[in-house]
Amino acid sequence: MRVWIFDTTLRDGEQCPGATMTHHEKMALAMQLEKLRVDVIEAGFPVASEDDFKAVKEIADSSTYSTIAGLARATDRDVDRAWEAIRGAKKPRIHTFMSSSDVHLKYQFKKTRSEALEMARAAVKRASDCCDDVEFSPMDATRSDPAFLYSMISAAIEEGATVINIPDTVGYSTPGEFGALIRNIRKRVEAIDSVVISTHCHNDLGLAVANSLAGVLEGARQVECTINGIGERAGNASLEEIVMALKTRSTVYGAHTGVNTREIFNTSKMVSEFTGFTVQPNKAIVGRNAFAHESGIHQHGVLANKKTYEIMDPEMIGKSSELVIGKHSGRHAIADTLASIGFKLSETQLGDATAMVKSLADKKKQIGRDDLIAIANSVLGRLPDEKRRLRLVSIKVRTGSAGGASADVRLSLDSKETAAHGEGVGPVDAVANAVKKAIGQRVTLKEYNLKAITGGTNALANVVITVQDRKGRLYTCEALNEDVIMASANALVDSIDKSLRGSG
Residue 98 β-bridge partners? 138
User: Distance from first CA to last CA of the chain, Å, rounded?
Assistant: 38
Structural domain boundaries in the chain: 4-275, 289-319, 320-381, 387-500
Three-state DSSP class for residue 201: strand
For domain 387-500, which CATH number applies: 3.30.390.50, 3.30.160.270, 3.40.50.2000, 3.60.15.10? 3.30.160.270
At 75, the amino acid letter reads: T
pLDDT in tens, 433-478: 999 898 887 788 889 988 776 666 666 788 888 999 888 889 888 8
In terms of Cβ atoms closer than 10 Å to its own Cβ (0-12, 13-18, 19+), residue 208 is buried
Which distant-in-sequence residues (6+ apart) come within 8 Å of 362 by Cβ? Answer: 327
71 and 95 in contact (C-beta within 8 Å)?
yes
Tell which residue, 233, 186, 221, 274, has the closest CA to residue 504.
Answer: 274
At 12, the amino acid letter reads: D
Angle (CA) 17-172-168 rounded to 5° is 75
Q: Which CATH architecture has domain 4-275?
A: Alpha-Beta Barrel (3.20)
111 and 102 in contact (C-beta within 8 Å)?
no
Tell which residue, 252, 266, 283, has the closest CA to residue 319.
Answer: 266
Q: Where is average pLDDT lowest: 154-168, 198-212, 485-499?
A: 485-499
pLDDT in tens, 298-348: 545 655 677 777 788 888 898 754 445 666 666 777 787 788 778 888 888
pLDDT tier at 295, thresholds 50, 70, 90 = very low
199 pLDDT more than 60: yes
pLDDT value at position 404? 85
Residue 410 β-bridge partners? 394, 419
pLDDT in tens, 8-22: 999 998 888 788 898
CA–CA gap between residue 435 and residue 368 (Å, rounded)? 32
**What is the per-residue burial (b if ≥16 Cβ within 10 Å, else e) of 176-194?**
eebbebbeebeeebeebee
pLDDT in tens, 246-274: 999 999 999 999 999 999 999 999 999 99
Which distant-in-sequence residues (6+ apart) come within 8 Å of 295 by Cβ? Answer: none
